[in-house]
Amino acid sequence: MKLFISLRPKIAGGGANAFAYNFAKWIKKNNKEYKTVRNILHADKAIIIADKADINKVQKAKNKGCFVIHRLDEYFEQIESEYRRRKHQKIIELNRLADVTVYQSNFVFSNVHPYLKTNRYKIILNGADPELFHPAPESGEYIGHVSWGVDTKKRLDILYKFIIEHPDQKFLLIGRHKESPYNFDLSNVILKGVVKRKKLPRYYRMMKMLYFPSENDPCPNTVIEAILSGVPICYNPAGGTIELVKNCGEQLDNVKVLLENLTDYHSRCSARKDLYFDQVFERYLNV
């Protein structure tokens, strides 16, 4: 069986990029039935990620019998920039060709489904590689933050305010923080910038907590990777993050509770198996 994934992953980055990288890697290592191909016209099954596909080629592949899965990790708004409006219009057009739509969380389903109204869909949360992301014997010493973007929904303003208000804490920031309007070059902050995917696990294991104020985030890989690394999450309840965290963290306004009970939350994270990506990808192949 030949499988096409519509996004070719880069060596760094999160979101759909991490999903495509993990899926292709897992197929190669663990599933002898499937082989990935770079041309959708040669595929028996295709996973189309958001708007990342040529509509005409998807139509031609369907005409040849290709089964199309449309993976959506999006947030639609009534008023959007021209870029997002065009992106979401293309998603709607591509979705008309999908045999099954996979929403990345219940949050994505409730937000995006009214625009598509497809009858065949699944809700499948993301996963991560437990061989890479696994707990350290003990919690780290840093409050961490990982983000590959600096747009307003990342709420770096909340992060910056939290750091300023907690000079007694040490912070480890991974991502494009230097590109933001906030000066994170502070005495209690280590700025590592963008790091390659294979180096991420060691930084997670240096953390005692992930501070994650992003709002309306559909299904953040960062949160999954942190939990599998034994790192509890202090999170914004607006979005899909709450579906991933479950009992492995607290909302932003309960950060004190989390900081006072880190050992307990570390143990809860270490017990999580439901976020292993072999379970996630098997569900995709069985759609």
Q: What is the pLDDT of residues 82-92, one digit of tens each?
A: 999 999 999 99
Domains and CATH numbers, the chain: 2-124 (3.40.50.2000), 142-270 (3.40.50.2000)
- What gap in Å lies between CA 3 and CA 141, rounded to an integer? 42
- What gap in Å lies between CA 95 and CA 164, rounded to an integer? 44
Which parts of the chain fold into alpha helices (H)? 15-30, 55-63, 82-95, 106-116, 156-165, 200-204, 221-228, 241-245, 255-260, 262-270, 277-285
The CA–CA distances, whole Å, from 92 to 76, 82, 105 equal: 11, 15, 18
Q: What is the pTM of this model?
A: 0.90
Residue type for position 250: E
Is pLDDT at 12 greater than 70 in this prediction?
A: no
Q: What is the pLDDT of residues 161-214, one digit of tens each?
A: 999 999 999 999 999 999 999 999 999 999 999 998 889 999 999 999 999 999
Is pLDDT at 99 greater than 80 in this prediction?
A: yes
- What gap in Å lies between CA 154 and CA 130, rounded to an integer? 26
The CA–CA distances, whole Å, from 138 to 204, 213, 230, 262, 263 equal: 12, 24, 9, 10, 8
